Structure 1
Amino acid sequence: MAIKTKAQQPLEVAVIGGGVVGLALVTGLLYRGVSVKVYEKSSSFRPVGAGIGFTPNAMRALGMLHPKALEAQQKVATANGDPDDPNDWIRYLDAYHHNSEEDEEVTIFKLYCGRRGFEGCVRADFMNELLKIIPDGIIEFGKSLENIIDRGDDEKVLMQFRDGTTAEADIVIGCDGIKSEVRKIILGKNHLAAEPSYNHQYALRGLVPMDKAIAALGEYKGRNRHMHLGPGSYVATVPVALGKAINLVAFIQDPDEWPDTTQLTAPADKEKVLQAFNDFGRPVRNLIRTVVDTSPRLDKWGIFDCVDRQSPTFTKGRVCIAGDAAHAASPHHGAGAGMGMEDNLVLAVLLAEVATSEEGQDNRAASIRAALTAYSNVRLERTQWVAESSRTIGELLEWRYPPTMSDWEKCEAELTWRSHKIWHHDQEAMLRTAQADYERILHRTIDT
């Protein structure tokens, strides 16, 4: 048997961060035979956040990434209404100009998602299902990244951790979220885009047992996705946990600065929370009151994004970023998971080409740089548009977007075209573009 040269050794990928995007990327790489290891800073997996939404494009990308990853999502996803006859609409309600006698909300418009086209699940449940696909020994815990050193084409990339240990890989991919250390290393810690910015908005989020949700909202609204709109605030309610709970996200405007930008959460003032929804109808008031009264400690989540501090690139050398680490957006589109899955799909396909092709074997460092550059090129514009659009949708849903304000027909039209641009993205064309760009960049590098 011939001994492989250094350039012919199996491609080794390191993923920094074991969240949803990082774990899904691992499944896509393993599915294509690419060696990968995850370095997670926490000591074990803990549920961060409550629910997570999967738009139509997210589910398509997930299925292309690894069929079992899509099966994992489908296993824990909750359909609107009856799972056997799902109600595939998002309903937008006027929760403010309510009927004074019945105190009921009025449907002002709705958005069709396609059959089981936009479903929620509990983040921890989905992660647990992904972990069943990943073999033991892939994930190392307690690894907080300190630095990455690209030591040149003849050496692997060196990762240094705060516990004093090191590791090596051919490629390092940062899936370490909105406060990404890898992004800071790529751009430089003093670069404007190294840190996200606060949107002067925070959210209450959490799981509300279905019986309590139904008591506040009624049976139909409890078991189906709704957006309860009003001036300056709104509430999203989505059934999750296979119908046992709803995921609630209540958005509140905040004129103040965020108290500690190193933390994404802070204690919430319960009276201010209640006051923000004081003029809403009874269903929203009751739901918010339920959350406030049943929470010994009520936390608020700061809404940060990268819109005002967009990264000029997602890669440097043999290091790149994906998901929120690359293009964090506010959650108003519910498209964060979809953008991360599309990132993963491009990376998995291109890195499989690097790992298996003759050119990738013979020109490893150059092929890695070409692949990551092609990835950045194909993902930059779309993901940054989604982040910008998500901020716009937040303004629209709070009746403060000047072109629409409270004109429901204009709101519906604006929301529809923006959502469809996200949901109906041609992912096969995206991959063809990325692969062609990879070949072009690599050949230009080799020929010079």
Structure 2
Amino acid sequence: MSSSNNGAISAVDVIRTKRDGGVLSDAQIDWVIDAYTRGVVADEQMSALAMAIFLNGATDAEIARWTQAMIASGERLDLSGVGKPTVDKHSTGGVGDKITLPLAPLVAAFGVAVPQLSGRGLGHTGGTLDKLETIPGFRVGLSNAEFIEQMRTTGAVVCAASDTLAPADRRLYALRDVTATVESIPLIASSIMSKKIAEGTDALVLDVKVGSGAFMKELAPARELAETMVRLGAAHGVRTVALLTDMNTPLGRTAGNALEVRESVEVLAGGGPADVVELTVALAREMLLLAGVDADPAPALADGRAMDAWRAMVVAQGGDPDAALPVAPEYDDVVAEADGVVTAMDAYAVGIAAWRLGAGRARKEDKVSAGAGVEILKTVGEEVKAGEPVLRLWADGTGVFSAARDALGGAVTIGGERVERDMVLGRVAQ
């Protein structure tokens, strides 16, 4: 099954095993991940294997071993010198999902270290690093030593992952993006968890988004992904809990880089949109439980402790917490076509509009605008009059407004009945 001439494993044999519905051996998985990382297995061969996994799935044992092999492709950080419990959060991505920004300092305010290695935005979902870089001076590139020292001192750190953590995942992620194999649950789960386990955190809370603006549109596959990742965490000694959360409607009232930082600071000051506060507190509660801290996180938003931790984090990473954030010079309002209540707002459409305005990127090398994005003036559940602005589009120039408006066609539904929104749809734990 797994051997070619002279008993060695070959890429073709590994692909054939999976193509024919077989189960890969530990040796096959270890070999193919290592060989691909070293460039011995070609992109077209790994593409074929990824498609075979996409079509035929993988067993729990295969996913656990695949994840282990990706961790082994680089270094695993040792956070034992931090001197406090470490708990991270990972979101599967959504529109207006700025939760990391208020969450990391909120949890750090309770003496817990949050080792948040984040990414950049691609397509309709925003990137945490792009948001933070709108703060003048903020530095997202930290050495491992700086990363560990900041956790020891300020507790919260949000920075880019180094190239030495799960390098196999970096190569495979780029390949999946161009071969229509992104949506494979085994490949998503191993991609996320290999990076988080390699980061060295004691515990992890997953925010698995469900809905139009999420990667997972339906609850059942989102739950399957959550369960797979929670099992992977347990298999690698990382206590893991997942919340399934709503992403049919954008989170909060902004989708864009500086816009979302401004809103996050409002939350840290004890205000901000109710849905952002609710989800931030729900995730913080799970993180504190895993860290062994018996406390209600909500009061720390009102009494300034979370804001103090935010300011300390920004200063530690070279930023100025008092500096003015960039504002786009041009705006255009989208108005309501009728009187009524906003009953739905398509998160995906809002995300595409923000991207077309300049807040996101189509390719990794694209530049993003700091000030561009969508401001939601009337959100789900709020009354609106015909002709009243519902959305405000911000951009560096007027030429992008028509493309953004095209993306928003039919995105806002106005009706007569007020609707309730459940933010947390489920919880998965071992």
Normalising TM by the smaller chain, what interval?
under 0.3
Q: Which has a greater percent of strand?
A: 1
**TM-score, with length taken from structure 2:** 0.23
**TM-score, with length taken from structure 1:** 0.23
